[in-house]
Chains A and B, each alone.
Chain A
Amino acid sequence: MTMETTELKHQVKEQIIKFLNLTTLKTEDIKDDEPLFGEGLGLDSIDSIELIVMLSREYGINIQDPKEGRKVLVDVNTMVDYIEKNRTK
């Protein structure tokens, strides 16, 4: 894992906490491979839209296809992987 990827993961965790108002969590509380929905962080459908908004505003990524969203919003690893390949800013 490169230094850039490690920094990006930290940044994405900070943004998840900020956008979803998870004020009781710190970045170190979120594991890279912890499921975002259901178990793990226990996010719900409104949170998924908030995360899609976050990807659009912070990285210029527009997810139009719900099937694609399901693959991206699995955990921090999948989000960072997708951001690295598709970011426009």
Chain B
Amino acid sequence: MLYVHNSNCISPQQTFPDTALDLLNESRDNQLLVKEPVYSNIPPGILRRMARAVRMCVGAALPLLKGIPEPDGIVIGTANGGIEDCIKFLNQIIEYKEGLLSPGSFVQSTSNAPAAQISLISKNKNYNNTVTHRGLAFENALMDAVMLLKEKKDGCFLIGSVDEISDYNFNIDLLAGSFRKEIVSNRQLFDHPAIGTIGGEGALMMTVSNAQEGAVARLEDLQTIHTPDETLLLETLKHFLLRNGLTQNAPDLLITGENGDIRLQKFYQAVESLFPEHISIARFKHLSGEYCTASSFGFWMATEILRKGKIPDIALKKGKQTEFRKILLYNNYRGMQHSFVLLGKPVG
């Protein structure tokens, strides 16, 4: 479907510019916040106004533009965009009785601000799109890129996703039961399953094209589904495996978005039950935290495993290190939005 070339992942873990996932950064107050790098590529005059989500996304994207100065399009998935600035702006409306409002937080809070800022800074006037399908925003950005590469076979696109933790939103989600009420460290997230999980944030940007040369991974197939029914989910997965010839030969590795929330365990257990006992299983939400586009962290981790040929020990749930040729990523957002992404080695 498409080949993944270079990528940058800014996450709560050590992933940018160098990667050291086994040096686990611990969560605080049930949040895994990004340790932001020094954004030396972003002009200071622009950086001072940027919301965190915009900074993370632009900071991950700009180094990639050294390889392709003018991509044929920019596609970013984000459920909430600069949600912190959005709420700041809405609070201003109330505080100042709909009077004169500061424009900065409004400009930075729109969901398309990250993609727009990348275009403005790089003077790129090509296709520019932001997709906001909540827990499937990243997957829909991938789908957009797949369709674009069908239309423009020699094209090269900059795609990715971003979402940030906002104090306001975290509290709302906490009250709604999405996050643990008791403090839990990400180290012990899976040891004591309970209702809720921990929050996270992050940005992934990558260059994709139809060119196999120099690629680190190949996106082989992608399927999304909205359903609260695990039987329907399993039927969808069976069709997905069938059309990819994986009924006899299972993927070498299953990466799941398991997040320690007991309400979602039935989906992960159902998916895992479909594969033979010897299949290795990895997970990543104790590294990224849960957020709408967290599957992008799993996607990035899968490309790193294909590139390096090794699963980070901290991510391995069961199984052993072997040669990884095909990796299936299954993610689930709040028991309703599911995605299956099949990645393979670019050669063979």
In the complex, which of the residues B44, B45, B96, B103 contacts A50, with contact meaning CB atoms closer than 8 Å? B103
Residues on B with beta carbons closer than 8 Å to the beta carbon of A62:
100
In the complex, which of the residues A24, A42, A46 contacts B49, with contact meaning CB atoms closer than 8 Å? A46
Q: Is the CB of A57 within 8 A of B96?
A: yes
Q: Which residue of A lies closest to B44 (CB)?
A: A24
Q: How large is the interface on B (under 10, 10 to 19, 20 to 34, 35 or more residues)?
A: 10 to 19
Residues on B with beta carbons closer than 8 Å to the beta carbon of A74:
none
Q: Mark B33-54, 1 if CB is under 8 A from A, else 0.
A: 0000000000011001100000
With A24-B44, A46-B107: A53-B100 Cβ-Cβ less than 8 Å: yes
- Which of B153-190 touch A at CB < 8 Å? none
Q: Is the CB of B99 within 8 A of A46?
A: no
Looking at A50, A52, A53, which has the most chain B CB atoms within 10 Å of its CB? A53
Q: Is the CB of A21 within 8 A of B49?
A: yes
Determine whether B121 belongs to the interface, using a CB cutoff of 8 Å to chain A.
no
Having A49-B102, A62-B100, one finds 11 other A-B pairs with CB under 8 Å, namely A19-B102, A21-B49, A21-B104, A24-B44, A24-B48, A42-B45, A46-B49, A49-B103, A50-B104, A53-B103, A57-B100
Q: Is the CB of A20 within 8 A of B102?
A: no
Q: Mark A14-50, 1 if CB is under 8 A from B, else 0.
A: 0000011111100000000000000000101010011
- Which of B78-112 touch A at CB < 8 Å? 96, 99-104, 107
| B interface secondary structure, majority | loop
Determine whether A77 belongs to the interface, using a CB cutoff of 8 Å to chain B.
no
Which B residues fall within an 8 A CB radius of A? Answer: 44-45, 48-49, 96, 99-104, 107
Residues on A with beta carbons closer than 8 Å to the beta carbon of B102:
19, 49-50, 53
Residues on B with beta carbons closer than 8 Å to the beta carbon of A52:
100
Query: In whole angstroms, how far apart are the Cα atoms of A22 and B44 in the complex?
Result: 9
Nearest-neighbour CB distance to chain A for B65, whole angstroms, equals 23
Residues on B with beta carbons closer than 8 Å to the beta carbon of A21:
48-49, 104
Nearest-neighbour CB distance to chain A for B104, whole angstroms, equals 6
Query: In whole angstroms, how far apart are the Cα atoms of A56 and B100 in the complex?
Result: 8
Residues on B with beta carbons closer than 8 Å to the beta carbon of A22:
48
Residues on B with beta carbons closer than 8 Å to the beta carbon of A42:
45
Nearest-neighbour CB distance to chain A for B43, whole angstroms, equals 11
A sample of 24 cross-chain residue pairs with beta-carbon separation below 8 angstroms, ordered by A number, consists of A19-B102, A20-B48, A21-B48, A21-B49, A21-B104, A24-B44, A24-B48, A42-B45, A44-B45, A46-B49, A46-B104, A46-B107, A49-B102, A49-B103, A50-B102, A50-B104, A52-B100, A53-B101, A53-B102, A53-B103, A56-B99, A56-B100, A57-B96, A62-B100
